[in-house]
Amino acid sequence: MPFRFVFVIALFSLGLAGCTGGSASATASARVTARAELSTTPSPVALVGATPAEGARAMEIACEAAAPELCNALDDDCDGRLDEDASCPYTPGEVQVVVAWNSDADVDLYLTEPSGTTASFQSPSAAGGLEIQHAGRGACVEDPGPAARVESARIARNAAPGTYSVALHYLMECDADGGPTTALVSLSVGGRHVGSWTYLLTPSERLQVLEFELQ
């Protein structure tokens, strides 16, 4: 049974507060598109198992059916999906991996599929429908906008069977207050929240954080 890391949850409540809400400049058509994608029922997919890296801390997180969904890598409303509110600059899929972090650093998400191809900030699309939908830059840009401390990868539908791996790269601190950073990684498969884990990253560190298998 995983411990309850109350101090980590409190840390993210403060550190990720800037990830909530949407951009005032978001167009109406973008919101309509996001809602249309959310209404599409993902095709069935079966999870064989998920294995976090050594040193990961599993988080037991309370959710509430009536709670608003925030852009924070959590399933706030208990529906099994992550950050599906139309204000978030990304949408769920059959498979979704979201990372959120608690500093102004620039952290990059890498998702590698069974064929060996990887989607990342540098190569946002890969074979099999794998894509990085949103890449936050922390404080490395002048106007970071909403979800600046969040990155999201997904496969919209028809995910290939096999083993997937998730890695994080602490690219840069962006300011003097970057320092060691706690990253929260959450996985949703087939509309079910599989789990959430925290990892401590140091500047320039690249770490494989999670493997999961589909069939």
Strand locations in the chain (E): 47-52, 57-58, 95-101, 106-112, 118-119, 130-135, 150-155, 162-172, 181-189, 192-201, 206-214
| Chain mean position to CA 116 | 20
Whether 102 is in a domain gets the answer yes
How confident is the model at residue 60, as a pLDDT?
87
- Structural domain of 131: 6-214
How confident is the model at residue 90, as a pLDDT?
94
Whether 188 is in a domain gets the answer yes
How confident is the model at residue 36, as a pLDDT?
34
Taking only the tens of pLDDT, the chain with its 215 residues reads 443 333 333 334 434 444 444 433 333 333 333 333 443 454 578 999 999 999 999 998 889 998 999 999 999 999 999 999 988 999 999 999 999 999 999 999 999 999 999 999 988 887 778 999 999 999 998 776 778 999 999 999 999 999 999 999 999 998 767 899 999 999 999 999 999 999 999 999 999 999 999 99
* Domains: count for the chain: 1
CB-based contacts of 59-68 (< 8 A; 24+ apart in sequence): 59/2, 59/5, 59/8, 59/9, 59/184, 59/196, 59/197, 59/198, 60/2, 60/3, 60/4, 61/9, 61/196
How confident is the model at residue 43, as a pLDDT?
56
CA distance 137 to 104: 8
Amino acid at site 142:
E
How confident is the model at residue 70, as a pLDDT?
93
Structure tokens at 118: 């990887």
Whether 1 is in a domain gets the answer no
Whether 75 is in a domain gets the answer yes
CA distance 33 to 19: 21
Q: What are phi and psi of 192, to 5 degrees?
A: -125, 130
Question: Which residue has 């590698």 as its token pair?
Answer: 112
Structure tokens at 52: 């976090």
